[in-house]
Structure 1
Amino acid sequence: MNRRYIRPVAVALTAAAALLLTACGGDEGGSDKDKIAGADEAGAKESASPAAGKSKAPDGVDRPQMTFPSDVDLVFADTHVSDPEQAAALGDAQNFVRAIRYGIVEQDVNDAAYKFYSEFESQAQVYAKDQIRQRVDKGLTISGKMRFSRTKVTPAENKESAVVSFCADSTKLYSKEVKTKKVHHTEPSLSDFYSWQVLMKPSKNAEGLWRAQKVQVKEKARECR
């Protein structure tokens, strides 16, 4: 059985520049399908579970708590970003990635965390839900360590969005059967390396919060090995 924590959906991914072009163009380059239906903060709050735990961050944003089991470790390499807006985009891009895995360990395709860190009905939110659903439908969760490195933040010229890119190494992250607790170990391969790009935009109604609008994941990323 494939031990990878997640298999990205077969999204038509072109060059990395495609996402950057979207980030720099304001409304240009986006279709009506890409726009949020129902406004920013309200849509996300309505879709979140009212029972989800909250934690007050230094920026004053009430964020969903994500507590992982002891056998799951997500490690993000330290990345110094001097600009506070870019730093906020980076932090919430990482939270979006964490939220996908949290939905998997919680076995909840409607978990509040990924909805909180993605724009309502955006491509990123649909992607996150699909990744969680793939595991839930197979009765699988995750176990082990995943490392993220080579992080870069590329702001748009208008500073209204930013693309956060990084590499992911899942050579030590495995599939785990929910019922039996059996962990499926396999040998490391190129399939364990991914290149991520996440288009982040600031929330209109919650200062300090950034949400994922689009995500692009390249499988078998040799540049990340």
Structure 2
Amino acid sequence: MKRRPLPVAAALAATAALLLTACGSGDDSSKDNDKIAGADTGDAGKSASPSASAEADALDRPKMTFPSDFKMVFDRTEPSESKEAAALNDAENFVRAINYGILQQDAEDAAYKFYSDPRGNAQAYAKKQIQQYIDGGWTVTGTQRYSGAKVDLASDGNRASVSFCDDDSKFYGKEIKSKKVLKTKPSNKDYYFFEIVMTTSNEAKGLWTAETIEVQKEATQCKA
């Protein structure tokens, strides 16, 4: 299963100032099998990093557990600045939540809504990714690897642009009824580059939510 990136609408002025070169691509209307962002095995209800703030740990985060054949690996260094670390951790949690919704076969799952802001396109992106798997009768399996994470924090400290690479070369869709793994031939289509604008507010201290997302397909700069 190859992910179908959504077209990205014009960003808000404050958001546009943070984003790197625009890399959203059009929605692929073909029915070829698509991969999508992966998730860790085990409990992902808390932030991915043990150095996350006590405020973030105190939040009532959704509990996400995954089967043993499903793994997401983050190859990155924890940012030293606490807000950058929190933004990165919750960007990862947003990606986890998409896969959790796929595994739950629930396009209205609470996890991706918890980690996204309905005012941007990120929540709609997550819902569409989950729904296309439900419609196809697919789930996910294998290992997905993220690397090259970068966080650019805005001057107000409440908005950040998070980017990273995604390697899907060992990550596959799987038919739910037959359990058949839909393996694909390795190609440039296995690589994606994500840019996610994360925001935070005083109403939920420690929580960062995805507002907008851009996904570049065939991101050959992400090949090892």
Question: Unaligned stretches of 5+ in structure 2?
Answer: 19-42, 48-53
SS across alignment from 1:63: coil
Answering whether residue 139 of structure 2 is matched by residue 144 of structure 1, we say no
SS across alignment from 1:174: strand
Q: Which residue of 2 aligns with 1:66?
A: 64
Number of aligned residue pairs: 191
Aligned-partner Cα distance in 2 for 1:131–1:64: 19
Contact 1:54-1:63 at 8 Å conserved across structures: no
Superposition RMSD in Å: 2.3
More displaced 10-residue stretch of structure 1: 143-152 or 79-88? 79-88
Answering whether residue 149 of structure 2 is matched by residue 181 of structure 1, we say no
Q: Which residue of 2 aligns with 1:7?
A: 4
Aligned-partner Cα distance in 2 for 1:130–1:161: 24
Contact 1:176-1:182 at 8 Å conserved across structures: yes
More displaced 10-residue stretch of structure 1: 153-162 or 207-216? 153-162
Aligned-partner Cα distance in 2 for 1:13–1:150: 25
Displacement after TM superposition at 1:203 (Å): 3.3
Q: Which residue of 1 aligns with 2:98?
A: 100
Q: Which residue of 2 aligns with 1:33?
A: none
Answering whether residue 118 of structure 2 is matched by residue 120 of structure 1, we say yes
SS across alignment from 1:164: strand
Displacement after TM superposition at 1:220 (Å): 0.3
Answering whether residue 220 of structure 2 is matched by residue 222 of structure 1, we say yes
Aligned-partner Cα distance in 2 for 1:122–1:86: 20
Displacement after TM superposition at 1:167 (Å): 0.1
Q: Deviations over 1:171-201 (max 9, x none)?
A: 0011100111111112211001000000000
SS across alignment from 2:204: coil
1:186-225 → structure 2 map (5 Å cutoff): 186-225=184-223
Q: Which residue of 1 aligns with 2:36?
A: none
Structure-1-length-normalised TM-score? 0.78
Contact 2:144-2:169 at 8 Å conserved across structures: yes
Paired letter, 1:122: G
SS across alignment from 1:168: strand
Q: Which residue of 1 aligns with 2:15?
A: 22
* CA shift in 2, pair 1:122/1:135, >3 Å: same
Contact 1:162-1:199 at 8 Å conserved across structures: yes
* CA shift in 2, pair 1:55/1:140, >3 Å: closer
